[in-house]
């Protein structure tokens, strides 16, 4: 029997949900939890499952949909008429944020930051960038060094024009957004319990830390201790990411107003799979994308889930997991970015 959602969280969900017109949940939840039998055959190693958060709906889906359920509700609670967010040119988060804004009649503004050293037409105009235009986002482009000023200036312009903007940080990774993955921890636990199994390890791609923070907070509430493996896709900074996830997890729990919040266990952070820089392909990523596509019919993305899946395959091969372990790979979505990296796979 699984632990029910705490009453304080139920009340929080009800409060935020009441801010949205005809709102219950706009994500396609719960997402499937599927066994990967071809890449990870039964009786040859740990039991490996994939949590299909690429199937959350909202313009090709992805992990940001869960966060946006709370963030858009919070925007309505503040009487916002405009949502602004920030991300890289091929940002999955920007795509999903604009889609959510459209769904509820909010104006959408996106600050696209030139974070990746790529000038090819595919990267600049295809994939998520094409979808941003199709979704009719108002886009502002800037260099990395100018991002802060561009955000502040545009927020001021909107306010001066009589708008009420609500700013969502990159990745939707603040305490409000992280509530989405706090709930996801309960969802995964219930799915596992229905199959009479316990999750020992969870692997996911991480950069802005909101997904890992929500999972960390959720499993802490249930007093469960699966090892959460955060595969860093943007820096070689294990300690920094672990601290950020832990801090954000505590802030997420603080939103629930608990008298005695549970202790937080930091994730295991892996930094050896991101390569030379954020958004730059690696051979291991390409191999994992091809393997998932050709043996499991799964589409991963080159920036996030592809690198995390490379970690899953490597950790499984090198004996990190016991044969009796149950491992869950959290698919965070991002398949539209494949079209922006078509040249990387041309010979394959």
Write out the catalytic residue numbers: 91
Rounded to 10 deg, the angle between the 64-77 and 92-103 helix axes is 50
**Whole-angstrom distance, CA of residue 291 vs CA of residue 231:** 19
Q: Token pair of 25, please? A: 């949940």
Q: How far apart are CA 136 and CA 194, in angstroms?
A: 42
Per the listing, tokens 């950069």 go with 207
Of 135, 131, 181, the residue nearest 31 (C-alpha): 181
Sheet holding 201-206, edge to edge: 33-35, 47-52, 326-331, 201-206, 227-232, 268-270
Those residues with Cβ within 8 angstroms of residue 191's Cβ, 6 or more apart along the chain or in another chain: 30, 33
Report the distance separating Cα 314 and Cα 300, nearest Å.
16
Compute and round to an integer the Cα radius of gyration of the chain: 19
* Residue written as token pair 């009589």: 162
Q: Which residues contact 302 (CB under 8 A, 6 or more apart)?
A: 279, 281, 285, 286, 289, 337, 338, 340, 341, 344
Q: What's the rounded Cα separation, in Å, for the pair 341 and 332? A: 18
**Under 8 Å between Cβ of 66 and 331:** no
The 3-state DSSP class for residue 261 equals coil
Which ranges of the chain does DSSP label H, i.e. alpha helix? 7-17, 64-77, 92-103, 121-125, 127-134, 147-160, 175-194, 210-221, 238-254, 283-296, 305-317
């Amino acid at each position: 029997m699984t632990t029910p959602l705490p009453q304080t969280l139920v009340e929080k969900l009800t409060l935020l949900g009441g801010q949205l017109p005809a709102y219950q949940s706009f994500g396609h939840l719960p997402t499937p939890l599927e066994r990967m039998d071809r890449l990870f055959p039964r009786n040859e190693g740990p039991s490996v499952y994939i949590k299909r958060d690429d199937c959350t709906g909202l313009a090709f889906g992805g992990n940001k949909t869960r966060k946006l359920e709370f963030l858009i509700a919070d925007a309505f609670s503040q009487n916002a008429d405009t949502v602004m967010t920030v991300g890289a040119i091929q940002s999955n988060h920007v795509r999903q944020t604009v889609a959510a804004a459209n769904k509820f009649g909010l104006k959408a503004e996106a600050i696209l930051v030139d974070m990746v050293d790529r000038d090819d037409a595919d990267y600049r105009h295809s994939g998520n960038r094409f979808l941003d235009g199709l979704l009719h986002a108002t886009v502002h482009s800037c260099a990395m060094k100018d991002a802060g000023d561009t955000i502040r200036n545009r927020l001021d312009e909107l306010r001066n024009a009589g708008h009420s903007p609500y700013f969502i940080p990159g990745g939707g990774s603040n305490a409000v957004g992280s509530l989405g993955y706090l709930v996801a921890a309960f969802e995964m636990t219930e799915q596992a319990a229905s199959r009479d199994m316990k999750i020992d390890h969870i692997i996911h791609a991480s950069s802005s830390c909101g997904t890992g923070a929500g999972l960390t907070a959720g499993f802490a509430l249930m007093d469960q201790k699966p090892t959460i493996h955060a595969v860093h896709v943007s820096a070689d900074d294990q300690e920094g990411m672990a601290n950020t996830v832990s801090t954000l997890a505590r802030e997420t729990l603080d939103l629930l107003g608990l008298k005695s919040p549970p202790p937080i266990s930091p994730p295991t952070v892996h930094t050896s799979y991101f390569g030379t820089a954020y958004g730059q392909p690696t051979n291991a990523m390409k191999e994992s994308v091809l393997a998932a596509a050709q043996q499991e019919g799964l589409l991963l993305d080159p920036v996030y889930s592809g690198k995390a899946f490379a970690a899953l395959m490597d950790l499984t091969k090198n004996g990190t997991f016991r044969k009796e372990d149950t491992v869950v790979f959290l698919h965070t979505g991002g398949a539209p970015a494949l079209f922006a990296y078509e040249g990387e796979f041309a010979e394959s």
